[in-house]
Structure formats: structure tokens, C-alpha cells
Structure 1
Amino acid sequence: MTSISSARASTILMVDDHELVRLGVRALLNSQASPSGSALNVLEAGSLCEALALYERHKDAIDLVLLDLALPDTRGLNGLTTLRERHPDARIVVISGIGTSGLAQDWLAQAVLAAGADAFLPKTASLREVVSLVRACGLPDGAVGHLPLPSNEPPHADRSLPERVSETLSPRHLSVFQLILEGKNNREIAEALHLSEGTVKNYVSTILLRLEVRSRAQLISSLR
């Protein structure tokens, strides 16, 4: 476990009962720490009990919690709900390997967002998605850099947002995206597309993540 230094640093609490997973996430995040940004600390817990104790001890320093649902002392969503109830201001991203099909993952995403998570990622997500989501969901600017693209792929920054929209969004996401641009809120989008508001919230979160913007307002202004 990385200790917290006396200087203010960006801190992530990684909660997973598999040591190899914690090691991999810590190595990934540290490899992406911006040389010009603040330091990055990663605290580790293998159970909900350990996570609650660490969060209570370092709650003023922790910027983000990466939480697995399948812990030895939790069942279903009760780890998330317990953490949310005890620390309502915590920024929580659920990363789970439960469910392999797209339908199962969509259902789980809706459930964890409804239970109070700020975002959801399956453990099958790419490294870029993990880094992008961490960067978008709670760390101060500069704490985590951009994941380099493969050498045979053109630099991401050289592609315009409209090009990224067509490359990264599915037809269903594009439908939601169009209604966002029309200024509709989640309820209005749900009614227009005959979806639940929870499903729409998940679609919107995914759109913002894939386009690397922090809010609807930033998305709309980027296209003007």
C-alpha cells in the first residue's frame, strides 16, 4: 500500500479482493501519472471492512474510490450502498467482472448508478477507458495523463470531436447524443426513445467518457 505523503497528493482507494487486480490498476495509474502534475497515491483494500477503515482514516485526502462489488464481506450492491450511506460525498466508480454479456453489463450499470455510484466500468474495459474514466471522475487536473495510443493509430488529439463521435458511438448512443444536442434532459430522452431514465443516465455517462468531456455543457460547447 502506498503511504500518503505530507504534501497534498491525488489519492485513489482501490477496493478489490484480488491482489493481482489491485497491483495491475496501481501500476497502470502510476504509469499514467502526469510528470508535471501532483503526486498520485493508491491505497488498497481487500474487503469492505478494510475500505471503510481506510476511507474514515484518510477521507480528507481520498479523491476517488474504485470499488469491486464481489468482496468477501459483501453481497450484491450492499458494499456500494454501505459506503455511500457512510460517506455520501465519496466519489465512487464501480469496476466489476459480474456479467459478460452487453445486456447484463447494461443492467448492472443501471443498478450501480441508481445505488449511488458516479460511474461504472466492466473489468473487460480497455486500459484507455479506465484511465479516461478516472481522469473524468474525481482527480484534480494533471494527476493522470493521457494513455498513449498504439503506434499505428493517429494521435487522438488530431481527430476532431465530430470524427470521434462517428468512430466511438453506437447507433443507440448516437440517438441519445442527438437528443442531448437538442437540449433534452434524461427524462425527455427516456420518453422519446422509450427507455428508462436509468438506462439513459448510463448512456449519457458512456458518451461523456468516450468523448472525453466532463459535462453536457462542455460537450455542446465543443461542437460549436
Structure 2
Amino acid sequence: MSSAGFRPEGSRQMSPMRIVCKDVTAETLYDVLHDTSYRKKWDTNMIDTYDIGRLTVNADVGYYSWRCPTPLKNRDFVTMRSWLPLGNDYLIINYSVKHPQHPPKKDYVRAVSLLTGYLIQSNGASSSTLYYLTQVDPRGSLPKWVVNRVSQFVAPKAMRKIYKASLKYPDWKRKHNPTLKPWMFPEQNTLPCISVSELTVQRADSLENIDESAVSEEKTNHSEDEEA
């Protein structure tokens, strides 16, 4: 999950992106987007991520928190994710839900993924294309420079990071539980079962809405990873 769909309050425009990944198979891209252990190695904007539970063999609920440049508050999400192999292609989608044991946290702003999706298309034996589309409500009145930074720098770099991480994944995976892929082999999934009745769709208007529109770019600290 990235910040590619952040828009000012009241605007929820979709933000599509695409990147061709040479020397990376569609299956490897699919594994990288699923593997939370590996994500901690390459997603330096991530604060924390973990799986909460499973709904079906191809749907689960998870938590993700994302570091914003100070003094903006960090954001976090609880999302229901589902996935589907489509022959040699793959689809992953998610949207925000409310889970009774994972309410909004004091030091974070609970953001809302209205709809986020990855489509991975195979281009043959050693190449693939990643399509990314997201519609996110970050909850809050964000300054225009934040929106510009996300759309011009952060989101495109996030796509390039996924590509670079995918190039290194096969070697990393060979040394870290190489046969463990519960997203491919449901019998390996040890997450607790969650009933759909425990979940409700997370409505943005039910969450705190903070005003950060006055934060100036000069007063923020950007990590090197956020720069183009």
C-alpha cells in the first residue's frame, strides 16, 4: 500500500501508474507484493505491517502504517485484501475495513483505502508489467505541496522501488523460508480465521479529520527515500 492516491479533502481522484519490469517474472512481482517479511527490507517509508487474520483462502485482513514527513502525522490503515491468479497474470485488491480489535491509534491518523489494486501482467518468461491504481482518503486537509510531492515524486519512486526489490527477491527468498508462500499454498496459512461479521467497511466520515493545511514545506523533514 502506497500514498499514490492522496488528494486534498473532498477530492478522491484515481491515480493510475504503470511500470515495465524487465528481468522480473509476474510470479516474482506477485510474491514481493505479498511477502510482508520481505517488505520490511525494502519499504523504508513503512513503519509497521502485519497480517491480522484470514477470511478465505484468497482473502485476509492486515495492518499497515506509513511514515509521513514531520510535522505531519503518520498514517495507518486496516484493509481487507483479496487476490486472484489469472493464468500467468495476477490481481490484488484491497479496501479499508473496521476491525474491533484494531481501532485507530492515538499517535496515527487512520487513513482510508477506498480501493487499491495491483494488476501484474506477464510479458513472457522474464518480463512483466505492474499496473497500480489507488483511491485513498488520507483524512485531513493536506497542503497542496504534499499532494504535489506524492504525485510527482513519492508514488513514482515507490513503483521503482518495487521493481528493484523484485530483482533481488529470488536470492533473498532462497535464504529465507524458500518454500513458504501461503498466498500461493493456502495449507501453509496459519493466521486465525476471521468472520465477515466481525468487519464493517471503514467510512472516512466516521474518522477524525485533522487540519494540516497550514504546514509549510520548509518546516518539514524529508527522508532521502522521499526524494526523487
TM-score of the pair, normalised by structure 1: 0.22
TM-score of the pair, normalised by structure 2: 0.22
